[in-house]
Structure 1
Amino acid sequence: MRNDGVTIKGTKEGLLIILDGELDFPVILRKLEEKITRVENFFAGAQAILDLSGRLVQPEQLEQLEHLISSQHGIEIIRIINQGCLDEKGEREAMEGAIVEDGLRNGNGNRNRRVTLNENEEQLSTLIIKRTLRSGQRVNYDGNVVILGDVNPGAEVIASGDIVVMGAFRGVAHAGAKGNEKAIITAFSLQPTQLRIANIITRPPDEENSEPNQPEVAKIKDGMVIIESSLNFSN
């Protein structure tokens, strides 16, 4: 079933709800509600996969979608694609070595999805974005952020945990935004306009440097933000 940016179809796992990546979020939310309401009795009690591929969805927007689909219309969301919930192949590529605990919400209505990067560290949720961030775009997330693309000049990424970019980072980054000095920022090509970890800020030197030829990691050492090769990285 298609209706200007919202597609709902049946699969072996249940309903597949696909949201257009170009329309503004309020428009998508309204069209989704109209479509579900039109055949509410048919969908009630069903299970659904929510496909957000191609959309940059903020946590509060995801809350609105879950409330509309599950709380208002009784459809159980069993999986979310491209919102901290990739398929197995995507998880291996983006979070190799991490332990991913599946599940959307527990019985108390709290989000269960956690990614454990280190057994001795606090568990943080992880937002995975499969797109390049362009100038003017901003991501602010309470947890880790993994970007499967580039971050262009003029874009900004803020995370209370780590920031991992599977591409070139040329924007503004703030990891450990709630004061976590153990947070890191890493990219295949780290060329930021500004780096900040916890409350410590650094900028690139004024003179032009050649593009890095290997992945690099920014971290705090001796009260300063330093950048080193990922091959030499150690906590």
Structure 2
Amino acid sequence: MTQQPVVFKGTRKGLSIYIANDAKIEDIRSAADSKLKSGKPFFDGATVNLTFLGREFNSQEQSQLLELFAQYMKIGTVEFTQAPARQEEYPSDDHYNFFDGIEEGMARFVRGTVRSGQRIFYEGNIVVIGDVNPGGEVIAGGNILVLGTLRGIAYAGATGNSSAVVASYCLQPTQLRIAGYITRAPEGETIKPPYPEVAYIKGDQLIIEPYLPGKGKQAESILQTKV
């Protein structure tokens, strides 16, 4: 398998960036920029500690990388580990330890209504004790649970965790996204069932079904687009 020039690994302390020893600075910047763009809703506005491991950089290259990352996040502490990382320590793909599964990771509790114009994001799971109004936005690296009505935008698994779920007492989002899958509310009024629902990825589809076993039939797969 060809080694990627850049691999991101999230930890509780921040973001580790593994750099292939033989990668050129142009390829490193291009690969990092692509990953940062895909995770922009998650990184935007967050303060992130950065640790670069692997390839050695001169001062000019370090400045170029920090300028790139600063376009997508607020940079906290920075560390460049000049000694090349051992081959067996180099991950093969991006990985975020603190929200690896649907039951793992830290959670942020939001008490009250998320109103239009508000934007809530967290690297783990988010629990909203209230409603999410149209124009409100909730972005989580893990799962999203709304103990109320979800009418705004929900983006779970923002860094690529396709095991993440979105659940709500009343699921009526204007936009729903899990990892690389996105769907929007259908036009016109829809009749919502009188029970909670959960959205998740199954196979190559984003589906919604009753959250409580035995309550109603499983909903048909909703139109989704992989991005």
TM-score of the two chains, using structure 2 as the length reference: 0.49
> RCO higher in 1 or 2 (8 Å CA, sep ≥ 6)?
2
